[in-house]
Structure 1
Amino acid sequence: MKSFQCRVCGGALFFENSVCVTCGSALGFSREEREIVPVDAVGRYVDAEGLIWHVCRNLNLSGCTWLARLEGGQCSSCDLTRVRPADSDLEGLANFVPAERAKRHLLVELDRLGLGGSLGGLAFDLLSSTLQPVVTGHVDGVITIDLAESDAAHREGLREQLAEPYRTLLGHFRHEIGHFFQWKLVTDGTTLERFRELFGDESEDYQDAIDRHYVEGAPADWATAHISTYATMHPFEDFAETWAHMMHIFDTVDTAIAYGLIEEHAFIGMRALVVDEWMPLSTALNVVNRSMGKDDLYPFTIPAPVLDKLEFTASLLPSR
């Protein structure tokens, strides 16, 4: 995430700010400019071309700070949400707010990676499991998120139950968007051939793979070729887990650059980024967390086969 400054007073801003805490100016996020901009008393912003933008109508519903093209309309992020909790579902609506915040973070990162124009066919069903079970997943362009994952206690309980080192709402979005891009970008030719070399035969029955994983668990040597135990379930899950970690790495490195922790330089490939930048940075951040008595920020190791997989996922991106 980049570093933002208020255009009115120069004060520091963060991605979700709707008001500058220094000068009190009302704010909105311009996706086109990738900047937080000041809005007037009725929530309008006039860009450099004279176009008028308006604060998203969902500001008070989901905390959305993005700008919409039409007055009383919703922004491009909210347009992607196909289903949300009913107005009467107060618990679901409370969990809807952090889910939409994570989705907006995801979209900004996809824009940064050059993928913002490749989202045709994508939709999100953000469903409350207050009344019925919800399964997080991706099918034919539709990403379903169980909003219970917004609740820290629920999420931590599942993390411990499943013996996972890491589980976050943003991580779910990054994993599921990995399924979406595998569905769109890994279809035939040399790309599919290389996918099979790295991840395995995707035609393996998915339900059989799930059943086997939850009965037998991951192979004893899983860490030699996979980023997580979940990645061992099926080639689709291996790809999605790898894609999520690619996004973890790019976003955290970009944030470290924005805040002066490491120097910015031309992108010279995923392998060099991981070895020369990410490994030293994540090690340092892990030690910082330990200094605060917290768990490691990045509790993973990257063996050589995973590095090859990360290179493959990065090769699917437009040029950085």
Structure 2
Amino acid sequence: MSLKSFEPVDNHLWKTSASENLYYMCANSTSHGVCNWVVEVSDQEPFCVCCRLNGTIPDLSVAGNRDLWQVMETEKRRLIYSMLRLGLPVEPRKKNPSGLEFDFLADTPSSFNERGRVMTGHNQGLITINLAEADPAERERMRSEMAEPYRTILGHFRHESGHYYWDRLVQNSTLLEGCRELFGDDREDYAQALERHYENGPPENWQEQYVSSYASTHPWEDWAESWAHYLHIIDTLETAYHFGLKVRPRVGSDESMVAEHDFNPYWEDDFQLIIEHWLPLTFALNSLNRSMGHDHSYPFVLSQAAIEKLEFVHRVVRLSALE
């Protein structure tokens, strides 16, 4: 859970200047150059805690696949860092049937669409990501085709992990009824809901209840989109905290827009404090982006209903971390 500088001990062992503990590089680093995590010698595992979660990796005999996989692994590490930092269970499905696993699969570019042969999705702990998502041109094409204001690899990872943790933390818990009160009845036919969404689009007033248009598809998707959004918030605020950012606009005198990011959100119980810091930060981020001629980095507007759902996600995470 930290970034360190290592020095070589011999041809395969490393240590830090502050400790005599010995480490070796993850096998996906030494063999393929796609990982920068290390393994303690005492673990006696070839892969780091992140790469142990892999089920299927891309066919590396295909030109370009290694580079695309490296992009995937970089973003996956941001997800796994958040999971570990939040104290959530992160176990390989190979060792625990309730654990997590990732498949990175590829189609030909002509079949890269939401209903192609490789579907990005989650099924009983297995998260499948279409390798084409790591190609910026293909991802932008799909973003435009699906009319999505925001589409990133990290967003996919966070969204699909939401489905996994709904199964693990909510489905068979005392939190289920409270979840249904906010997000709706998850027993609604999912296939029919998905078909309705693709045929008719979201309801006209979706912004009043949901964090995104796709969240209106089905309660499962509402949860997963809210979960992903929660991780966006927590991780971005942590970055602001480590940079010591303070937002204080010099135009106007609205004190509600003043925020000094002097707390680590990964350790914060009070969700209201988190959201009070989030809104000024995103206002500043969007303003900076517009000054550079780019679209908003945060193309969302949070309604009160969406904030209540985010707070519920926060409560589930905090309760799970305490167990």
TM superposition score normalised by structure 1: 0.84
Percent of pairs with identical residues: 40
Is contact 2:53–2:91 with CA below 8 Å preserved after alignment?
no
Q: Check 1:280–1:142 CA distance in 2 against 1; reply closer, same or farther (3 A cut).
A: same
CA contact 1:53–1:67 (8 Å) conserved in 2: yes
Residue 44 to residue 116, structure 1, CA distance change in 2 (3 Å): farther
Shift of 1:241: 0.2
Q: State the SS of the aligned residue for 1:76.
A: coil
Larger mean CA deviation between 205-214 and 50-59 belongs to 50-59
CA RMSD of aligned residues (A): 2.1
Deviation at 1:95, TM superposition (A): 1.2
Distance 1:182 1:291 in 2: 39
Query: Partner residue of 1:73?
Result: 46
Note closer, same or farther for the CA distance 1:72–1:201 as it changes in structure 2 (3 Å cut).
closer
For 1:128, give the aligned amino acid: A
Aligned pairs for 1:109-258 within 5 A = 109-117=82-90, 121-130=99-108, 133-258=117-242
1: CA distance, partners of 2:174 / 2:6: 47
Give the number of equivalent residue pairs.
287
- Aligned partner of 2:289: which letter? N
Give the 3 Å change call, closer, same or farther, for CA 79–268 of structure 1 in structure 2: closer
Letter in 1 for 2:76: K
Does residue 38 (structure 1) correspond to residue 12 (structure 2)? The answer is no
Distance, in Å, in 2 between the alignment partners of 1:161 and 1:39 is: 48
2:185·2:219 contact (CA, 8 Å) conserved in 1? yes
Mapping of 1:48-63 within 5 angstroms?
50-59=20-29, 61-63=32-34
Quick one: which amino acid aligns to residue 134 of structure 1? V
- Quote how far apart the aligned CAs of 1:237 are: 0.4
- The 3 A distance-change label for structure 1 pair 189 and 54 is closer
CA distance in 2, matches of 1:313, 1:151: 31
**Structure 1 segment 272-291 matched on structure 2, within 5 A:** 272-274=273-275, 276-291=276-291
* 1:36 partner SS: coil
Aligned to 2:58: 85
Q: Give me the TM-score of the superposition, normalised by structure 2.
A: 0.83
User: In the TM superposition, what is the alpha-carbon distance from 1:67 to its structure 2 partner?
Assistant: 0.4
Relative distance call for 1:93 and 1:46 in structure 2 (3 A) is closer
**Structure 2 CA distance for partners of 1:95 and 1:265, relative to 1, 3 Å:** closer
Per the alignment, in what secondary structure is the counterpart of residue 173 of structure 1? helix
After superposition, give the CA deviation of every residue in 1:265-288 in whole Å (9 maximum; x if it has no partner).
3735223311x1000000000000
Instruction: Look up the equivalent residue of 2:261 and give its one-letter code.
Output: E
In the alignment, what sits opposite 2:300? 300
* Contact persistence 2:91–2:100 (CA under 8 A): no
Per the TM alignment, residue 49 of structure 1 is displaced from its structure 2 partner at its CA by: 7.3
CA separation in 2, counterparts of 1:117 and 1:128? 25
C-alpha deviation, 1:94, in angstroms: 2.4
Does residue 64 in structure 1 map to residue 35 in structure 2? yes
Q: Offset at 1:116? A: 4.9
Contact 2:237 2:261 in 1 (8 A): no
Q: Output the amino acid matched with 1:111.
A: L
Structure 2 stretches of 5 or more lacking a match?
93-97, 112-116, 246-259
Q: Is the 8 A contact 1:103 1:173 kept in 2?
A: yes
AA matched with 1:210? L
What amino acid sits opposite 1:273 in the alignment? I
* Residue identity opposite 1:143 in structure 2: I
Judge conservation of contact 2:207–2:303 (CA < 8 Å) in 1. Answer: yes
Give the residue type in structure 2 aligned to 1:81. Answer: N
Q: Structure 1 unaligned segments of length 5 or more: list them.
A: 1-30
Post-superposition shift, 1:135? 0.2
Superposed displacement of residue 44, structure 1: 2.3
